[in-house]
Each structure stands twice: as structure tokens, then as C-alpha cells.
Chains A and B, each alone.
Chain A
Amino acid sequence: MLALIYFIILGGIAVGSALCVLLSRHPLYGAISLVVTMVSLAGIYGLLGSPFIGVVQIMVYAGAIIMLLTFVIMVLNGARDSRTPMFDRVSLFVFPAILILAALLAFALLSSGISFDPSAAKVSVELTSKNLFNVNSDGPGYYLLFEGIGLLLLSAMVAAVLMAKKNLSSKNLENNEEEI
């Protein structure tokens, strides 16, 4: 009962602030609303018995990624955008699509008859790590995905550094030419 009340409150905040992200005209307000969404989603994860995912959600999304996002918005001096219309012809396709998707999801969830007992789903950090890094041949093999994602992120980072480096070196060349 208590869990349901918490869930309704958190879900309301999450959906409301997610709507704010879409409807706000200023990018910074959008970013702040996104932070609120992330934090309330973290609360829902905690409620579902996986505090680890919730905390990582706050740390990674709210603490790092959206922080970077606000950094970029502030560097680019983002301002209120009142030229782009809120709705245009594309919305005619988007809204029905969203509604149909939501209806399909609701139908699927309701018909599958999921019963959720939060007290049964308490997942400790130890269990999470043991599942994730189970290197036995008959295990779930999540660690392979984990390593693969690590490699992917590393290559993305190297690519980003390379791209930034290229710009830097060309700028240096220009400077040198000016000095000469």
C-alpha cells in the first residue's frame, strides 16, 4: 500500500517533468526538468527493489550527463526559443503514434497479468555483481556484453579525442602561420 502511494507520487513527478522537457521553450529549463525526471526514476528503481540501479541512475544521468548538457547549454548561451512552432504537420503523425504505442504497451502489460511484490524483489548489490560477472560457461554471460560495451565506449572516446585533436592541431598551425 505504502509502496503504491510512493509509486504514484514518483510516477506523477516523472511523467510531469518529462512533459516539461518536451514543452519548455528554454533548453535550460528542459535540462532541469530532465534532472527531476531522472531522480524520480531513480526513486522508482529503488522502490522496485534495486537501489543500485537507482543510485547509478542519479550518479550517471543526473550527476554527470545532464551536468555536461547544462555545461554545453551555458557555453552556447542557449536562449528561449520562440520561433519554432510547438505543433506542425509532423505532429499529426507523431501524436497518433505515441497514443497507439501507449495503448499497445498498456494492453500487453495488462494482459500478461504481472503481479509485482516489492518485498520479494529486493536485489542486493552482491547479487547484481554476482549475476553480472558470472564467468561460468553455463552462466548468463552478461560479462561479455559488459566488456563489449566497455570496448565500444573506449573506442567512442578515442574517436572523440581524435576529432578534437585534429581541430586543435589545425588551429595551432594557423596560429603558427600568423606568428611567422
Chain B
Amino acid sequence: MIEIIQSKHWIEWLINIAKFAFAFVPVLFILLLIPLERRGAGFIQDRQGPNRSYFRLPYFGKIRLFGWVHNASDGLKLFFKENYAPHGVNKLLFLLAPAIPFAVVLIAPAVIPWFAPMVFTFGEEVIRISGQNVNTDVGLLLLFAISALSAYGAVLAGWASKSKYSLLGGLRTTAMIISYEVCLGISIMGILLLAGSFRLDQIIAWQDAHVWGVVAQPVAFFCFLIAMIAETGRAPFDVAEGEPELVAGFHTEYGAMQFGLFYMGEYSHIGINSILVSILFFGGYSIPFVSTSTIQSNVGISLGVLAFVFVFAILAFLHLLYRYSRYLKKSSYANKSAILREYSLYKIVGWAAAALLLAAGVISIMYFKPAYTLIDGQAVYGIGVALGTAFIQILVLLAKAVFFCWVWIWIRWTLPRFRYDHVMNLGWKVILNVAIVNLVITAFIVKLIGD
């Protein structure tokens, strides 16, 4: 035991343990995704969406946080509802089934690299830390293998409920998963051939050195995106829980937090999948034309630019608020004074945050000048630079992932849903063949160009 503890420096242990927190990032995506989904659906369907709940502050009145409070209270309601199992269900499997998809989303992100491998000097020692929790050769395969297991949740739920709708939903989930897993696997083979590795960090390194995967493999990108959406079982591919046909599919008989677990599993799965799309086809944590070493040597300026980007986003948000306030003042809504009072809080917070970030950015640009030591002809910086770089890269990755979350929602509320046989035809007769042709052509080109 002692040898294992002594094999690493204490700071290495500390960062490695802190990295475990990343396992919860896809689960935390739920906090963002559920309001985004419900308000986004409202936005696409030209209505308000859920934004009625509020909490009260002394001067500002009702604070609704753009519907976030409403969704949080919906979640809270699910937590405190009674767990209920209908008569005749298979108790053990009925209780076990919702845990499976949720457990899977905690394990699957273990191989996702959140930042480029860190190298920094700490005291006398040079410390290297990889960007993912599980640093293994099989990377992407491990992620796929574990996510494939999440279908068992749906299957067991469908069977244990002892209801015809649930059983049909479970059956359809199995069929969907089997057909689209094949497409998923084959569509990414092209990019794997190009990068020559299953490791996600090496795939990102290849994209950093050459071009983004979406440029090198546009066909594969679309196959992958469609297969991904189908695999999460959302509309337009929601045959497993098609509301017009199967009530709610495999989770018809579930209520309260048991349903909530399925729901959270699905949304975290979307989170993982959007992170995966941004890693495989959009360069992951890398920024185009800016390499990791450039960020490291100009870490102060990079952090400053990051702060300015945030300031810009906040200013855009404030602009939106001011425009809407002007519109409200002219209108004849009965509750306009309450809304304006609520907005005054957002304006104060927004200006304060903008000023703080601006100051932080300027200070960072002016005073954050990293010192480095040369090791093997490469500049190695201190721990501050390494953590700053990692912070920037995590934010870049998450920004790309959030954009793809929006793509998911966008597609769901725009396209009409497919019929079951259409989904199967699309999977087996179109996407699979296109993906195979793409793979063969890519293999030829890779062989011709040579490694």
C-alpha cells in the first residue's frame, strides 16, 4: 500500500482525486438541459414555456431566473413524491431498472479527456497528469461498451412492469439499440483510422495538428449525429416511448424519482453524446490555430481574452434585457412593474459581473507572466499556468458540448417523428451502408497517402 501512495507526489494525488469530480459533469448537464429543453421548446413553438415559479427577495420581488426556478421545483416535486409500484410488477427488477441508465452515465465519462495532458514543475519535480480519469488505450471503446449497457435499464423496466405498453417499449428499445449501435461504431471508424488510435486525447491531438474531424469526415459526422440521436431515443426517433403509440413506452408504469432516474439518465446521455461529438468531430478542447503551448506561453493573455469573451456575453445579455425592458414599459401588461423590478436585479448582477470580469481580465493580461524551466528542450511551466490552461480547455470543450445539446433540442422540436419501420429502414439500409462506404474510401485514402 505504502509503495502505491509514495509512487506519486502529493499534488499529483490531489489533482487526480479532484478529477473524479468530472464524472458528475454529464449529470450536472441536466441542470442546464431541462430548462434549455423546455424553454427552447417554448421558443420554437412561439410560446413562453415554463417560467411561472419564483422565490421572493425583499426589494426585487418575484425572482424567476428565466424559468430555472420552475424546473428546479419540478425536479424537487419528483424527489418528494411517493415511490409507487403497480400491483403485479416484478418488484426486484422494477426497482433495479431505473438505476442502470443512471449508473452508466456516471461511469461512461471516465475516458473523456477534459484538458490536454498537464505537464508542470512543482518544486523540484516534473509532474504529468492526463486529462481523463481512466488513462487507457481502449478509450472510446470503453465508453461505447458501457453506454451499450444502459439499454438494459429500458429492457428490464419494460419487462418488469408487466404491462403491454412497457413490454413493447422495451422490445423496441432493444431493436433500436442493436441497429444503431452498429451504425455508431462504423461511422466513427473513419476518424479512428485517420487518428490511428482509440484514445480520445490522441484523436484530439490529430485534429489539432491537421483539421477538425468534421472537415476530414463530413459524411461520418452526419451518420454519427443521426445514430447518436437515435441511440438516446429522443424524437424524431422516439419509437421506444412513442407517445401516440405506447403511452410512454418502457417507463409507462413509473412515477416519482424512479421516472426521474430514467429522465436524468436520458439527459445525461445527451450530455455525454454532445461532449463526444465535439471531441470526435470538433476538436474537443483544442482551439483552432491556437496550440496548447501557445496558450501556456501566453496564459495571462489567454485568461484575459476568456474574461473578455464572458464580458461580451454578459453585455449581449444585458442588451437583451434592456431592449425587453423598453418594450415592457411601452406595453400594457398588468404585471410589468413586477417584471421590471425582477429585471433590475439581473441588470445589477450583470453589470457587477461584467466589471469584475473586465478587471480580472486586465489584471491577468498585465501581471500574469509565467516563468518556465527548459526540460528536454521544451518549456515547462508552473502549476498556475497548467491549471489556467486546463480551465480554458475545459470551458472550450463545454461550450462546444452545450452547442450540441442545443442541436439535440433543436432537432427534437423541429422534425416530425418517424414511424417504426422508417427508423429501421434508415438505420439498416441508409446510414449503415453510407458509413461502410465512407469507411472503405477513408481506408483507401489513408493507405494511399501512407502514415
Contacts and interface: CB of A to CB of B under 8 A. Distances in A.
Interface in A29-48: 32, 35, 39, 42
Interface string A64-91: 1001101100110000000000000000
Contact of B148 (A28, A64, A125): A64
A62 B177 CA distance: 13
A2 B2 CA distance: 12
Interface string A120-153: 0000111000000000000000000000000000
Contacts of A58: 145-146, 148-149
Nearest to A59: B145
A146 to B, nearest CB: 16
A71 B175 contact: yes
Contacts of A55: 138, 141-142, 145
Contacts of A124: 137
Contacts of A62: 145, 148-149
A74 B174 contact: yes
Main secondary structure of the interface of B (DSSP, over half): helix
Interface string B262-304: 0000000000000000000000000000000000000000000
A39 B149 CA distance: 10
B141 A52 contact: yes
Contacts of B60: none
Nearest to A124: B137
Given A71-B175, A75-B171, A126 B137 contact: yes
A106 interface: no
Interface in B84-143: 136-138, 141-142
Contacts of B181: 63-64
Contacts of B155: 67, 70-71, 74
B346 interface: no
A59 B144 CA distance: 7
Given A2-B4, A71-B171, A74-B170, A32 B148 contact: no
A62 B145 CA distance: 8
Interface string B155-181: 110110000000100110011011001
B259 interface: no
A124 B170 CA distance: 37
B227 to A, nearest CB: 15
Contacts of B137: 51-52, 124-126
Nearest to A54: B138
A75 to B, nearest CB: 7
Contact of A67 (B136, B145, B174): B174
A59 B175 contact: no
Given A59-B144, A124-B137, A74 B149 contact: no
A56 interface: yes
A67 B197 CA distance: 28
A60 B174 CA distance: 14
Interface string A1-20: 01000000000000000000
A67 to B, nearest CB: 6
B117 to A, nearest CB: 17
B149 to A, nearest CB: 6
Given A52-B141, A71-B171, A71-B178, A63 B148 contact: yes
Contact of B145 (A32, A63, A75): A63
B176 to A, nearest CB: 11
A84 to B, nearest CB: 21
B206 interface: no
A67 B178 contact: yes
A35 B152 contact: yes
Given A56-B141, A58-B146, A63-B148, A71 B4 contact: no
A24 to B, nearest CB: 12
A2 B4 CA distance: 10
Interface string B170-204: 11001101100100000000000000011000000
Interface of B: 4, 136-138, 141-142, 144-146, 148-149, 151-152, 155-156, 158-159, 167, 170-171, 174-175, 177-178, 181, 197-198
27 contacts: A2-B4, A32-B152, A39-B149, A42-B145, A51-B136, A52-B138, A55-B138, A55-B141, A55-B142, A55-B145, A58-B149, A59-B144, A59-B148, A62-B145, A62-B148, A64-B148, A64-B181, A67-B178, A68-B174, A70-B152, A71-B174, A71-B175, A71-B178, A74-B155, A124-B137, A125-B137, A126-B137
Given A59-B145, A63-B149, 4 more contacts: A42-B145, A64-B148, A67-B151, A71-B175
